[in-house]
Chain A
Amino acid sequence: MTFKQIGLILSEILTNHLTQFYEKHFCPPQYKNLGRSGFLPLLLVLITMNSLLTSCVQEPEAPRLEPNVGDQLARVKSWFEENKTNLRLPERGSNFRTESQELILPFFEKEPDWDQFHHYYFPDGREVFEVSLENATKYFPTSMLDSFPDRDPAELVIQNLLFVKHPTQERFDPLIARYYPDCEGSLLDFNRISYNNISPIWSGRLELFTYDERFYVGFRILEGELDHSYQYQVHEGDKKLDYSKFDVRCTVYYYPVGYQTCSGGSCHTTIERMVGVTSCSGSSGINSGGNYGFPSGGGSSSTGGATDGNGTCSSCYDPPSVPDPNLTVRIDLSIKSNPRLNCITNKMSLNRFINEIAKFTGTDNDPANTTLKLGPLSGPNGQMKNLGNGNYEITINSNADNLNRPDLLIAKTILHELVHAEIEEALRKKGVTTWDDDFGRNFDTYVKLYMGDNDQHHAYMAEQLLNKMGTALMNIHKNQFPEDYDKFLAYKRRNGEFPNGIPLDFYKNLCWEGLHTTKAFSVMSKITTNPPILRPLDKYRIDQKDGKELLTKPCGG
């Protein structure tokens, strides 16, 4: 018997018996394979499987660094080594400024531990490397001595250096971040807290200092939520305050602030003085938009361009502006291990609206309040589950139909589910959410309309959030998938459409999917027009079709 004969017999057995077995138990009967699988491809698959199985020898896990992140970190380190002697604000050489209430701690040389770092992006897209300063001199507020009477507070403080990439130049101006926990329950190690990832269990104070130890901005955080921010204002002369000059959301008062440092087993006071403190409720009281800049010196740093006080020095230290710290969405391993989904969520995390809802983190062991994962669902593209106590789980359907969709449509599903979670969170917080300044009133309106409706989330989305969701999707498409955007726009323009770019309506129409049961959709679908003007429902149908047929998968298939 020749090999060919053996092959034919095997092929026949497989075709006749295993196929029947498979079709009986797994395959819907009406779909039948048009082609017959030959023996050769079967053999190839067997060999491939064999090599795969034999190669699955468990190896000890070594820390891995994505090559581009590693390269970038090396550039940060190199830049720091070159520039660290220049990282002092010009014309302000004294460490202790007595003529104002500005708080400046004694400067010390800093040597970051480059092996411990967090990598993330601010909402405006600036890349950040937060590197540990664990072994450097640590300052902590004297109040920590009361909170931890039997401990050395210096051991409990997390102290990091934030290198924020300049938006246009190859520079990484640093800020110091110090995390002062309130109590034993908030003691975390380096891996479990960062500026972009404040755990819901953490309470304490997070303070930023310039590289040369000038107080920058502080945040009071209670169980992962930003209670208020504060800055030490320069105040000359009389300490009697004129409250009319201040924003009513902010309160200004004086109190003693003390910072200590420990060395050789003993702690001593290094700074203790009365400062004028402006404390503002909410996330963005001090500076509009939740963006904090250094209050004095060489002008705005958010616009780029380092300054020396006169706005002329391109190599001098320019403390970067920073946004609010925020809560986090933990990216589950099931997403991270899927290169395409990982790519999509990374791109989404750069979008402003998404960042108003949540921060994405890739860290495994953080108790983030929302988990985003990939998993099987019977039908829907996504699912949001309220786990209680402000915790949510979002599942993106792992079935082929869902994942075969273009990247932008998968991003739309994730956005849709995040909004579900945010609506729940807004309800939990009695109406406080960053994306709807007047959630209470708007929700009231919609309660009046839909009391008893069991699809309240979708109704609210359709009535109140479609513009924001559409805009977010448009910005993701334009800024994060530019090739896909350009191809689609070019195609449409060849047909004489979209002369001014892809309109917001296109993205809103993509977002309408899933909202069909709402009254808002019903109203929209009943609008009539005179031909040749298309009805909104026809536009919706065409946009849906174009989105599914013509958009692509820039993150890979």
Chain B
Amino acid sequence: MWRLTFFLITLPFFYLLSKKEVVLILNDCNHWERYNDPYYTLRFSYDRLPYEFPFISMGHRWIDEDYKLSTQSMTFSQIMESDPIYTSQLNHHDWRNLARENVRVYILIPEDYCSEKRFLHDHQFTLYEVRVHVTASANDVVSNPKDLFSFPELDTLRRKKKN
């Protein structure tokens, strides 16, 4: 009972705290290719290079204003205070987990990070909210393969053509 009471009392806190934000610094600047939206300015995505599985992409793009993504301005010291994540340190597993987390992801783009702006005092960087996509190698599973029908021998499969 006390567990239930504790859970009910702390549930709203967890809800608040679970709405997190995370800053990604694209520090491996040469490993990101920018794709500018051909119609809308300041809408873009960054695709991880080389193009191999899993494809990783982060998009600051939308065509419906209801799905508009936000931006933030921060100095570099403020960014560092937010415990940012460096993309060079993430492996495929981390990327998948990040894509699955219910977090708002902001990026510091490589053009800003790998530039002299980082060393300018109080320079305001723009952080862009993005949607992280990690293309799955298999986006579903067939549970308990041993429970599936056995793979038929070639000559046991009745060829019944319908119609």
Q: Which residues of A contact B (CB under 8 A)?
A: 14, 18-19, 22, 26-28, 30-35, 37, 41-42, 45-46, 48-49, 53, 282, 284, 377, 379-388, 399-401, 404, 413, 416-417, 420, 424, 427-428, 430-434, 437-441, 443-444, 447-448, 451, 454-458, 487-488, 491, 494-495, 513-517, 537-538, 541, 544-545, 548-550, 552
Contact = CB atoms under 8 A, between A and B. Distances in A.
Contacts of A284: 163
A137 B24 CA distance: 72
A45 B16 contact: yes
B131 A33 contact: no
Contacts of B162: 282, 432-434, 437
Given A42-B13, A45-B12, A544 B133 contact: yes
Given A444-B154, A517-B138, A545-B45, A32 B83 contact: yes
B87 to A, nearest CB: 13
Interface string B46-68: 01000101010101011110110
Contact of A35 (B21, B38, B66): B21
B10 interface: yes
A494 B39 CA distance: 7
Contacts of B140: 380-384, 413, 416-417, 420, 514
Given A428-B149, A444-B159, 10 more contacts: A22-B17, A34-B21, A45-B15, A386-B142, A387-B147, A401-B102, A541-B135, A545-B47, A545-B59, A549-B62
Contacts of B114: none
Interface in B1-26: 8, 10-18, 20-23
23 contacts: A18-B17, A27-B17, A27-B18, A28-B97, A30-B85, A31-B20, A31-B22, A32-B20, A33-B21, A42-B13, A45-B12, A380-B140, A380-B141, A383-B142, A385-B142, A400-B101, A432-B162, A440-B157, A440-B160, A444-B159, A513-B136, A516-B135, A544-B133
A549 B83 CA distance: 27
Interface of B: 8, 10-18, 20-23, 35, 38-39, 45, 47, 51, 53, 55, 57, 59, 61-64, 66-67, 82-83, 85, 96-97, 99-103, 131, 133, 135-145, 147-149, 151-152, 154, 157-163
A549 B131 contact: yes
Nearest to B148: A386
Contact of A495 (B39, B59, B61, B163): B39
Instruction: Choose among B23, B38, B140, B144 the residue with the greatest number of A CB atoms under 10 Å from its CB.
Output: B140
Contact of B63 (A35, A455, A491): A491
Given A19-B17, A37-B17, A447 B154 contact: yes
Contacts of B14: 22, 26
Given A30-B83, A447-B151, A549-B133, A458 B138 contact: yes
A487 B64 contact: yes
B55 A385 contact: no
Contact of B160 (A41, A380, A384, A432): A432
Given A431-B160, A441-B159, A517 B139 contact: no
